Structure formats: structure tokens, C-alpha cells
């Protein structure tokens, strides 16, 4: 096992992402320090009579993963927002715990916090700031929005960096929740959100274990210098001894474990992408990196308890149309007047790009060999045997409009199938990998923001898989920006050092630290495809979904632009939009319907989903499936270990300053 140098003499000290009171004041921010002496509900939490188990993690509690997806604060340009990521990831985990891991994961909007919190920015923040701000917001009857309404742009005070230069600024409706169509965007009056009932600070092993064990993950300060070149194993133990004298970074801690050589260690989730460490995680020995130090102010952790959140099971859904009108809005509410256009390529356009229209990867499709067993009346991968295998919802329409439904639908279905495969391999339900739609827009010749083809998307990934051994990148290496090379909407045409073409930088990237550049990575987590094909008709759809997982299908989206809830029955003979289909159900009046996941955000429809009657919207006229071949995952022992600055995975030609 690799042993790191004790002093880390070759690694320059990182600039701290934790602000002092003086630094916060100089930036016009509200400074909230930690109060470790305040009496809170944490004090009355029980301690197990027999002590804590040697191994405990919310990422695998009783065979269920309650950890939400790993994130990357460093892209599309560098942003020192660890303080926001650590706290929001821990809170999102607690929402997942409250939901008993049912339904697609809810991701909270770090960008909403950056735009409105006034407790930090891309130059840093504080440990207690996020929860203190959110407590004030919660007490006023509001909450933090979901990422599908306000996606992370890595913008906060760095107004001239990358995509931030021409991005809409200020804390207003547009930066809390938005929708876009054509050249227009509007802020929403209502949006899915989460609130908290209480928050507090703790420090030290005993308090950390008690809080994590009883209520869920927490956000903690850590000394990150030694993490810059971390790859795997227990850091700070006998195998990888380190020293630390200051904290400069915030992470979330999801549990602990025991190593035969290094003893007890914390399971720590970072926000540097899944190409870093152990798929975005690190094992930190007890007593190392000041993670569990009790030194006042220099160390410590923060926790918050969930008060409320928007979810189908709570019957408190927000329903907004594509044009931006939400239930209860007054007649004068600003709305988008743009008309939707088809986002699908014609057969001629698909073939002109070198793809086979409605093609299959082999002359004899494996779909035809699937068992035609008697199928149940109700079935969904979002709740199969009590477990959710549906990946997070998406919103193709923001930060500016992009007609990428063909990419969203195909990659969501493929990501679901990876989640299914991981559950089968590990016995742990809910382990998620989210795929990069932006990589497909930058490099995949199957389409653009002007439209594309889901079957061609699978063909392109298959071609890449066979030719290079690498497939579609993970979202944490290339986030969705809703741009392609021909797009002039929003910041697409003016963002610094962005041309949305297929380069290493636009495949997988990391951006170093303050004042440094971004680099393209030659090695990155990815998913490859084994087979793909096209099908049509309800029977074929159900057979494919039941046996192998969700599929991508084209529909006529005209009748659902104003959809809120219920079963859609409108018939059609055309298609102009791609969705993913995750299952079906039976209604006493309408009969069979399909459970469809759209890519218009969680404020649309039934938290991003719509029920479509069998035969409606021309659903089933052309659908597409793909089977995963390989993917980067801990359990497959094939991880990519890139340092924080990416230098050991760097494509020198892709360096951008």
C-alpha cells in the first residue's frame, strides 16, 4: 500500500475555504460562528447500552443506501463552496432517511444558498452559516429549493469566472427557481423545497457518533492539505500517517468503520467529484486531519433536523407549467410566451449523421429472447420490492433552454439500469451513478440543444465503448450546462473558455484552486454499453422494462405542457419529445397507464413524472433500450483515482487558464 510522506512537503498548502469573521465582514457577508455550549435536542439522544458497532454507515444501513449522489464543487469553474456542499449533502441524506429511501433522491440547491444565503460564496464560507440561514428561511415558512429548479453553477462572488460572467445575478425568483423556453426564462412563485426544524454544533468522537448513529450524516471541518493527493485506504492511520494543524475545508461524514491495520476510521464524503478518492469518499482515521478534534473554533461539526420537504408521499407537490405558471398564481404572473418546437431529429437527419434510424446493435436482438412471463398489473422500478432504482430527476430547461430531451431520456434510463446492476451485485439498494448529459452534448454527434435522437445516443456511446473502452462520463466530472456548440441562448455563446466542442476539458474536467485553471482529464469514471436496440408497442415495452429496466421513448409532448396531475388520455399520431418509462399501473377507470419520467424539473407534473394512458401521446411508437457493459464503481475495484488538481490524470493539451 502506498505510504504518504509525513509532512506533505511537496504539496502546497491549500487556500482555506473557511472564512474568518474579518474576512466575512470584508465581503459583506453575515458571519455565524459555532456555539458548542448551546443546549439542543442532540444532548438527549440515546447511546447504545452495548456501545456503537465497529462499522456503521448510512451508505449501507441494513442493505439500503441512504447517501445521496456525490457532487463536485470545482466545476464548471473553481468555487470554494465546500461549506455549502457538505451541509446540503448531509441534509439531503437526512431527507432520504426520512423518506425511507423511497422515490428518486432529492438533491438540494447549493446555488440557491450561494445566491441568497449571504453566508459565503466561492471564496469561502463558514460551517454554521448554511444551517443558520436555512433556519431563518424555514421559520418564515419557506425552504431551500431543489437542484432541479436552481442547478449548481459554481457562481458566488466570482462574477467574471467561466459561466458566471453573463449569468443572471442577485437573490430573486429567477435564482431561487426558474424555467426556460425559447429565449425566455422566468422565476417561479412556488417551488419544491426543504426546511429544517433545528440545528446545532458538536465536536469530538462521542458527539459525532451519537448524532450520526441516531439521526444521520453531519457536516464537519477537516484539514484538507493531506487529502489533495489521496487515492484510497485509511489516511492518518499507520499505513498513511499525516499531520495537521488547521482546518480549511468542510465535508460530510456518513459513518465509520474499522480496519485491521489502522483501526477506527470515519467514512467521509468530499465534494471533489467521483474521480477523486474512493469514488468521492475517503476513510479518515479517528484522530486524524482534525476531523474529530474538540479544539474550539478550529474544528467541529454541524447538524440539522428535517422539518418538511416537497414529496409525493406528503401530498404537498408543487405544480408549475412549462411556461412558468404555478397553481394559485394570479393572472398577471409573468409567463413564457415562446412556442415549443420538436426536439427530435427526422429519419433523414439521423441517417445524415451516420446513425441507423431505429437501429439495433446486432441483427438478432437480445430483447427478442426475453422471457414472456405473465406480468403484474402494477410494476415500477421506483418501488421494486420496496427499493427505489430510479435515479434523480433532471431539468433540461435550465439554466437556459436546451432541447436535450433525447439525451436526458436515454441517459436517465441507462443510469437506472446501472443502479439496478449495482443493487444486484452488492445487495445494497439505492447506489446511484448519474451520467453526464453535457458530455453527450459536447461530443456525441447524436444531437444538440436543437434536438437529437435517443437511439443515436445509444449508438454513439456503443461506438465509443467499442473503440476506446470508455463510454459516457459521470455528471460529477461534466455537469449539465444546457449548452451545445451552436447554441446562443443564455451564457452559451459568451462563457469564458467554453466552446462546447469535444475536447478532454469538455469530456471530464477539474478546476484547481483559487486563481488556477481547469484541466481535462484523460481518465475518468464512465459507463459503457454492451447492447442497444429499438422496440415498439406496449407488450414489448413492458417485457423490456420488467426484465431489464427503464427505457427511453418518444411521445407527443404538446398535451402535457400544462400537465399537473392525473392520467393523460390525449391521443396523437406524432412525436416531438423523449422521456423515460420506468413502469406501469392499472386505474379502475382508465385502465393501464405507463409511469413516465420527464426532464422538466420536479416542480412540473407529479414531482417530474406523468402517468400516460396506454395508447396516449403516441407513447410506444418508438422506444429504445441499452444494457450496461461496465461502469466505474467501488465494488468493481476499478476506480479512477485523480487528485484534487487532476495532475495525475491530466491532459496537458487541455489546460485552460
pLDDT grade for 10, boundaries at 50, 70 and 90:
very low
What whole-number distance in Å separates Cα of residue 282 and Cα of residue 227?
8
Count CB-CB contacts under 10 A for residue 590.
Answer: 16
**What pLDDT does residue 329 have?**
82
Count CB-CB contacts under 10 A for residue 466.
Answer: 14
**Above 90 in pLDDT, residue 575?**
yes
Question: Cβ neighbours of residue 96 under 8 Å, at least 6 residues apart?
Answer: 66, 67, 68, 105, 106
CB 217 within 8 A of CB 210: no
pLDDT average, residue stretch 118-138: 95
pLDDT mean across residues, the chain: 93
**What pLDDT does residue 157 have?**
87
pLDDT average, residue stretch 627-653: 90
Burial class (CB in 10 A: 0-12, 13-18, 19+), 655: middle
pLDDT average, residue stretch 158-184: 89
DSSP assignments along 224-252, one per residue: -GGGTT--SSEETSSSB----S---EEEE
**Above 80 in pLDDT, residue 464?**
yes
pLDDT average, residue stretch 628-642: 95
**What pLDDT does residue 12 have?**
54
What whole-number distance in Å separates Cα of residue 408 and Cα of residue 414?
10
**What pLDDT does residue 5 have?**
29
pLDDT grade for 650, boundaries at 50, 70 and 90:
confident
Phi and psi torsions of 452, nearest 5°: -170, -160
**Above 90 in pLDDT, residue 573?**
yes
**Above 50 in pLDDT, residue 9?**
no
**What pLDDT does residue 302 have?**
96
pLDDT average, residue stretch 125-141: 95
pLDDT average, residue stretch 5-14: 45
pLDDT tens digit sequence for 289-302: 999 999 877 899 99
pLDDT average, residue stretch 572-595: 98
Domains within the chain, CATH numbers bracketed: 21-35+52-306 (3.90.70.10), 346-355+379-496+522-631 (3.90.70.10)
What whole-number distance in Å separates Cα of residue 133 and Cα of residue 116?
9
Q: Which helix (H) or strand (E) holds 139?
A: helix 129-139
Catalytic residues: 405, 577, 598
Global pTM reads: 0.95
Burial class (CB in 10 A: 0-12, 13-18, 19+), 36: middle
**What pLDDT does residue 497 have?**
64
pLDDT grade for 4, boundaries at 50, 70 and 90:
very low
CB 316 within 8 A of CB 327: no
pLDDT grade for 35, boundaries at 50, 70 and 90:
confident
**Above 60 in pLDDT, residue 252?**
yes
pLDDT tens digit sequence for 109-118: 999 999 999 9
Higher pLDDT, 7 or 56: 56
pLDDT grade for 168, boundaries at 50, 70 and 90:
confident
**What pLDDT does residue 6 have?**
30
Amino acid at each position: 500500500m502506498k505510504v504518504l510522506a509525513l509532512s506533505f512537503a511537496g504539496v502546497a498548502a491549500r487556500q482555506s475555504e473557511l472564512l474568518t469573521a474579518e474576512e466575512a465582514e470584508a465581503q459583506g457577508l453575515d458571519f455565524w460562528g459555532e456555539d458548542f455550549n448551546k443546549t439542543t435536542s442532540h444532548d438527549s439522544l440515546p447511546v447504545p447500552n452495548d456501545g456503537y458497532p465497529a462499522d456503521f454507515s448510512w451508505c449501507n444501513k441494513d442493505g439500503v443506501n441512504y447517501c445521496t449522489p456525490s457532487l463536485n464543487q470545482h466545476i464548471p469553474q473553481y468555487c470554494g463552496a465546500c461549506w455549502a456542499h457538505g451541509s446540503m449533502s448531509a441534509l439531503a441524506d437526512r431527507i432520504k432517511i426520512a423518506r425511507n429511501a423511497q422515490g428518486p433522491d432529492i438533491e438540494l440547491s447549493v446555488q440557491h444558498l450561494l445566491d441568497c444565503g449571504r453566508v459565503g460564496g466561492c471564496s469561502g464560507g463558514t460551517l454554521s452559516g448554511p444551517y443558520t440561514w436555512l433556519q431563518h428561511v424555514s421559520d418564515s415558512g419557506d425552504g431551500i429549493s431543489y437542484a432541479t429548479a436552481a442547478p449548481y453553477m459554481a457562481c458566488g462572488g466570482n462574477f467574471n469566472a467561466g459561466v458566471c460572467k453573463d449569468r443572471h445575478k442577485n437573490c430573486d425568483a429567477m435564482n431561487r427557481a426558474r424555467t426556460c423556453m425559447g429565449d425566455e426564462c422566468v422565476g417561479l412563485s412556488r417551488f419544491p423545497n426543504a426546511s429544517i426544524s433545528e440545528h446545532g454544533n458538536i465536536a469530538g468522537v462521542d458527539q459525532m457518533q451519537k448524532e450520526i448513529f441516531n439521526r444521520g450524516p453531519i457536516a464537519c471541518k477537516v484539514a484538507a492539505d493531506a487529502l489533495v493527493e489521496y487515492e484510497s485506504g485509511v489516511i492518518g492511520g499507520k499505513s498513511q500517517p499525516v499531520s495537521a494543524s488547521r482546518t480549511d475545508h468542510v465535508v460530510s461524514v456518513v459513518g465509520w468503520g474499522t480496519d485491521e491495520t489502522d483501526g477506527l476510521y470515519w467514512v467521509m464524503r468530499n465534494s471533489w467529484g467521483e474521480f477523486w478518492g474512493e469514488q468521492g469518499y475517503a476513510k479518515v482515521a479517528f484522530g486524524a486531519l482534525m476531523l474529530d478534534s474538540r479544539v474550539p473554533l478550529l474544528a467541529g461539526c454541524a447538524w440539522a433536523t428535517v422539518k418538511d420537504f416537497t414529496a409525493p408521499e406528503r401530498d404537498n407537490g408543487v405544480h408549475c407549467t412549462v411556461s412558468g405558471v404555478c397553481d394559485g398564481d394570479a393572472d398577471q404572473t409573468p409567463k413564457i410566451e415562446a412556442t415549443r418546437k420538436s426536439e427530435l431529429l427526422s429519419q433523414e437527419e439521423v441517417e445524415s449523421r451516420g446513425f441507423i434510424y431505429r437501429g439495433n446493435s446486432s441483427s438478432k436482438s437480445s430483447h427478442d429472447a426475453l422471457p414472456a412471463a405473465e406480468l403484474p398489473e402494477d410494476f415500477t422500478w421506483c418501488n421494486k420490492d420496496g427499493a427505489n432504482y430510479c435515479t434523480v430527476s433532471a431539468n433540461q430547461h435550465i439554466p437556459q433552454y436546451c432541447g436535450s430531451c433525447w439525451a436526458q431520456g436515454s441517459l436517465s434510463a441507462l443510469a437506472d439500469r446501472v443502479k439496478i446492476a449495482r443493487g444486484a451485485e452488492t445487495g445494497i439498494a439505492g447506489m446511484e451513478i448519474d451520467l453526464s448529459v453535457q458530455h453527450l452534448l459536447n461530443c456525441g454527434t447524436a444531437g444538440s440543444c436543437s434536438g437529437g435522437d435517443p437511439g443515436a445516443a445509444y449508438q454513439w456511446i456503443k461506438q465509443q465503448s467499442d473503440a476506446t473502452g470508455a463510454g459516457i462520463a459521470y455528471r460529477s466530472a461534466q455537469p449539465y450546462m444546457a449548452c451545445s456548440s451552436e447554441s446562443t441562448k443564455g451564457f452559451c455563446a459568451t462563457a469564458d473558455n467554453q466552446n462546447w466542442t469535444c475536447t478532454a476539458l469538455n469530456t471530464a474536467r477539474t478546476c484547481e484552486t483559487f486563481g488556477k485553471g481547469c484541466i481535462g482529464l484523460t481518465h475518468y469514471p464512465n459507463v459503457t454499453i454492451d447492447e442497444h436496440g429499438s422496440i415498439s408497442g406496449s407488450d414489448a415495452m413492458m417485457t423490456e422494462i420488467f426484465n431489464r429496466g427503464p427505457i427511453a421513448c418518444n411521445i407527443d409532448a404538446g398535451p402535457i405542457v400544462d400537465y399537473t396531475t392525473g392520467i393523460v388520455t390525449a391521443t396523437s399520431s406524432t412525436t416531438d419529445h423523449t422521456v423515460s418509462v420506468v413502469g406501469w399501473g392499472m386505474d379502475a377507470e382508465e385502465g393501464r397507464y405507463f409511469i413516465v419520467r420527464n426532464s422538466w424539473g420536479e416542480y412540473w407534473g407529479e414531482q417530474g413524472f406523468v402517468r400516460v394512458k396506454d395508447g396516449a401521446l403516441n407513447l410506444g411508437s418508438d422506444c429504445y433500450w441499452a444494457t450496461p457493459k461496465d461502469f466505474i464503481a467501488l465494488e468493481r475495484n476499478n476506480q479512477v483515482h485523480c487528485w484534487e488538481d487532476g495532475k495525475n490524470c491530466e491532459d496537458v493539451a487541455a489546460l485552460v487558464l
